[in-house]
Chains A and B, each alone.
Chain A
Amino acid sequence: MSSNEKLERELDSFLDEKDSRIAVLYRKLPKPEPDAKLDAAVVAMAHRAVPTSTSPRQPRWLPAIGAAAVIALAAGVAFLIGPQIWQSRAIMPAAMQGVSAAKNVVNVHTQNEPSPPPPPAASPTVESTATLPAQVPAGMAAKFETAPPAGEAAPMSTPNIDRNAAATQELQKAENATPQLASPTAFPERALRKPIMDSTESRQTMSAKSQAAQANAASDATSAPESPSPQTAEQVARSAAKAPRAALRSYPSTAVRQWNRSWSTNEPQTREQWIAVIQHLLNEDRHDDAVQALAEFKKRFPDDELPPDLRDLK
């Protein structure tokens, strides 16, 4: 084996690290390393190049998630509290409108005395909205879940409310005291009885027959109205003969008999019934009553044409 071949074999062994005596010997050499100072210098240089790398890396999504959570929380709070704040702001002008509306209602009622009963002024809703804001701070009104309508709320001005309530109570008292005013269809009982009980002039002009009839009617009114006497039945039969048959059939005979006691219970409903009643009164020579009944008839049926026998009745 030539020296060249031996060298080539050793080179191959050195490159393959197989049985390379030189390589084995080299690895037994001391292994110097950089000292700690040099290591620190290199590492510091590397970290200076990327200054933020020394601190633990925080996830980038963490600030984004935090910001989103804060926004969602703020939106939720605004969603819960916002409408209440807006309601409390809206209550003030609505309340002022309610005060003026209530004032107008009072004025109308006081000017037009015989009018339909006003809406109840002491309803719980109006009371709560009318009195609470005068007693509690304005911010407390925001706790009401439903704002009252502008026409009902009158929270600020208690004197106006008192005046409104007083006027309403007066109207109710008047209605209770004179129900005939509240009910325009009711015929005044006192007006019906007056010619019978007090008018001596009419009594003098009455015929004996009509006096007897009045006496019977008065006795009926004071004694037992529910049990018709045979004489009253005859009178009803006579008046029914003069009145239209349909009207007499539709109108109860007991009502005809009791007509002068209380119109509020069995008042005539139709035109024919009214006419029958008026004719019945005339037949009984109760002229004043017939005139009043006719006036009431004209109120009820202003456009209707009177029968010929009633046109000249005054």
Chain B
Amino acid sequence: MDAEKTDEELMLAYARGDGRAFDALYRRQRGMLYRYILRSVRHRDQADELFQETWSRTIASRGRYRVEAKFSTWLLQIAHNLIVDSFRRARPQAGAEETETVFRELDAPESERPEQMLNEFEQRRRLQIVLDTLPDEQREAFLLRVESGLGLDEIAAVTGVGHETVKSRLRYALAKIREKFAE
């Protein structure tokens, strides 16, 4: 019966004390949220911590939940805030030199690269490397789009920026990936 309910209905049911509604909601959102967090912070331990903290805040805020947007947007917004806080707290922004090193490696002649014979596995691996080298805002916008399936407005709502800013971030992210990876 819970399978027929939307995420928002399940969250409202949990807010009224229905624990089974939370179980159903958690099963739906756990993978998407975890991957978003893990690929944002790139460290499993940190991702686990932020994942649990995201749900902790969701549970604590259940009484204040209102159906003004998709539940996933609300959930990712919480996770986003935690990720940003973790970036500011633990990890300095990747410097231009580090980024240049990665791209230089990607831009190396095929003869100099051991991954000339890239297969699909290698392509996925390279994509992961490129994602890691992206600036946080661009990577987050990319992940919210491709992992969570959010639109521009929803990404804007989660990240707290404007629609055009999100679009610009995505444009830059794709350009870097294409330039350094796709071709």
Contacts and interface: CB of A to CB of B under 8 A. Distances in A.
A175 interface: no
B28 interface: no
Interface stretch (A37-45, A82-90, A212-220, A296-304): A37-45
A159 interface: no
B123 A49 contact: no
Contact of A42 (B31, B55, B171, B178): B55
Interface string A15-45: 1000001110111111111110011011101
Interface of B: 14, 17-20, 22-23, 26, 30-31, 34-35, 38, 44, 48, 51-52, 55-56, 59-60, 62, 120, 123-124, 127-128, 145-147, 151-152, 167, 170-171, 174-175, 177-178, 182
Given A42-B55, A45-B59, A7 B174 contact: yes
Given A14-B145, A32-B35, A38-B48, A25 B127 contact: yes
Contacts of A14: 145-146, 170, 174
Interface stretch (A50-58, A106-114, A194-202): A50-58
Nearest to A52: B17
Contact of B167 (A11, A26, A34): A11
Contact of B177 (A8, A22, A30, A49): A22
Contacts of A288: none
B127 A42 contact: no
Interface in A149-194: none
Nearest to B121: A28
Contacts of B30: 33-34, 39, 42
Contacts of B175: 7
12 contacts: A7-B178, A26-B146, A27-B146, A33-B31, A34-B51, A42-B52, A42-B56, A43-B23, A43-B26, A46-B23, A47-B22, A50-B19
A16 to B, nearest CB: 10
A52 B23 CA distance: 14
Given A32-B34, A34-B48, A43 B22 contact: yes
Contacts, number: 100
A50 B14 contact: yes
A33 B34 contact: yes
Nearest to A41: B52
A10 interface: yes
A38 B152 CA distance: 31
B59 A26 contact: no
Contact of B17 (A25, A30, A38, A50): A50
Q: Report, nearest first, the 4 A-B pairs whose CB atoms are least far apart.
A: A53-B19, A46-B22, A50-B17, A42-B55
B68 to A, nearest CB: 22
A248 to B, nearest CB: 113
Given A11-B167, A50-B14, A32 B38 contact: yes
A28 B146 CA distance: 12
A201 to B, nearest CB: 124
A46 B26 contact: yes
B127 A29 contact: yes
B174 A46 contact: no
Contacts of B20: 53
A175 B158 CA distance: 119
